Amino acid sequence: MLSKATILAALIAYAEARFGQEQVPISAISAVQGGNAGAAATIAGAAISDLLGAANACAKLTRADQIVTELGGGADAIAAAIGMVTAEKNTNPFANGNVQNVCSDPALPVTAELRGITPLIDPAVDVDGGVAALSKQTAASPLDATGLSVFDLLTNAGFGDLVKGQAAAGGAAAGGAAAGNAGNANNGNAGNANNGNAGNANNGNAGNANNGNAGNANNGNNANDECDDGAAAGENAGNAGNAGNAGNAENAGNAGNVAGGAAQQSTIAGLDFGTCIPTIIFEGGLGGRPATEFTFQLADPVAKQGQQEALNPNIITNRVCDQLGNVCGANKAAIDACQAAKAQVQALGTRDKSTADAFNTALGFAGFVTNPDGGPADKPAAKRALKFRA
């Protein structure tokens, strides 16, 4: 009879083997030659989060459309996008019956070359390898997907009992355009968020609601102008146009450490991080997770666009360094310092508040608040010893 220790070791080994699937298509995306300078790296960094267990199943299809839309229709871009469509999403074998969510939105993906292709799923569920064989087949010779979702394709092929359909979240079905403008659904509310209800709109969101609106500052500011909120608009001017930051200015005690932090400067001479603050946070309850589940995330509301929170700090620190050059306009010294701080975090191997503190301190932001929503500053000590990969 197997001992409990043997069984536990086997379970942990299995979890390690199945987690980390988000890394599979990333190198192909970052190697695409088309698009603006740095665009491939930015999309590759964001794509990691689309394959994590908590991500919506349709997100990776929207990201695949973005690859073609922003990086062009070259052979390398199409191949990378197909790799994103077929990629296996991470799942937790110990939660929710290891359910294999598949996108049920018939509008996704939008790109014609990507339709009719089915994804891989956890081999522990696809025990006979039928789903894997279909994925390989359709990547080379797509099925007719007229009016059908990826979930429909798998169901029609006889695999409906292995997967569960999941609808696109928050208007993701807008296709390739949605990938670059994930938060634009809030355009119509930008003015309202800044107009009297700012405090309520921003409470608890610590900038999350403002992510998608980062490029839509004028929408909110138009409403402010009519309401004679010149002071609020002035505060926004220093925050790279984040439509919701007027509310954050009034809620300095709540989310000011995140949005307001954009005005902070590094204490290390010569490091110019441009329009962003390069810090990371660590707290429970991010992205709809349980309050007891702590994850890492970028603090800056603009830099973190398209990035989901992660259990693995290396995903977040890598994203910070990518965004400094691609979005924030940081100088070379700042980018080099970020790379060094990223390596330091990887060497530490920790996954708690001290991890975020080490990264922030290395960049000249010692003492930066890592739990801006006001919850516990760190997870219970007993849980810090567990090192599951995000």
Q: What is the pLDDT of residue 306?
A: 83
Euclidean distance between CA atoms 49 and 288, whole angstroms: 14
Which residue, 96, 368, 357, 183, is CA-closest to 258? 368
Task: For residue 217, report the phi and psi dihedrals to the nearest 5 degrees.
Answer: -55, -35
Q: Which two tokens stand for residue 139?
A: 């990547």
Euclidean distance between CA atoms 259 and 342, whole angstroms: 22
Residues forming a β-bridge with 284: 294
Q: What is the pLDDT of residue 377?
A: 87
Question: Could you give the residue ranges of the DSSP H alpha helices within the chain?
Answer: 4-18, 26-30, 39-50, 59-71, 75-86, 130-140, 150-154, 176-180, 190-194, 198-202, 217-226, 230-237, 245-250, 313-323, 332-348, 353-362, 381-384
Handedness of CA 361, 272, 206, 91 (dihedral sign): negative
Q: What's 370's DSSP letter? A: S
Which residue, 346, 350, 344, is CA-closest to 383? 350
CA terminus-to-terminus distance, the chain: 32
Q: What's 155's DSSP letter? A: I
Q: What are the angstrom distances between the C-alpha of 33 and each of 20, 26, 117, 126?
A: 25, 14, 24, 35
Q: What is the pLDDT of residue 205?
A: 41
Per-residue pLDDT of the chain (390 residues; tens, 9 = 90+): 555 555 545 444 444 444 445 456 888 999 999 889 889 999 988 988 888 878 899 999 999 999 999 998 899 999 999 999 999 988 777 667 788 999 999 999 999 999 999 999 999 899 999 999 999 999 999 999 999 999 999 999 999 999 999 999 864 433 443 333 433 434 434 333 343 343 343 433 434 434 444 344 344 344 344 334 433 333 343 343 443 343 343 333 333 344 334 447 899 999 999 999 999 999 999 988 999 999 999 999 989 988 989 999 999 999 999 999 888 999 999 999 999 999 999 999 999 999 999 999 999 999 999 999 888 988 876 444 444 444
Euclidean distance between CA atoms 271 and 309, whole angstroms: 26
Euclidean distance between CA atoms 66 and 87, whole angstroms: 16
Euclidean distance between CA atoms 209 and 20, whole angstroms: 28
Residues forming a β-bridge with 294: 284
Please compute, for residue 145, the number of CA atoms within 13 A of its CA located in the half-sphere on the CB side: 26
pTM above 0.85, yes or no: no
Q: Which residues contact 24 (CB under 8 A, 6 or more apart)?
A: 51, 83, 87, 88
Which residue, 317, 324, 330, 332, is CA-closest to 390? 317
Parallel/antiparallel/unpaired status of strands 164-166 and 280-284: unpaired
- Helices 130-140 and 75-86 pack at an angle, to 10 degrees, of 160
- Helices 313-323 and 39-50 pack at an angle, to 10 degrees, of 160
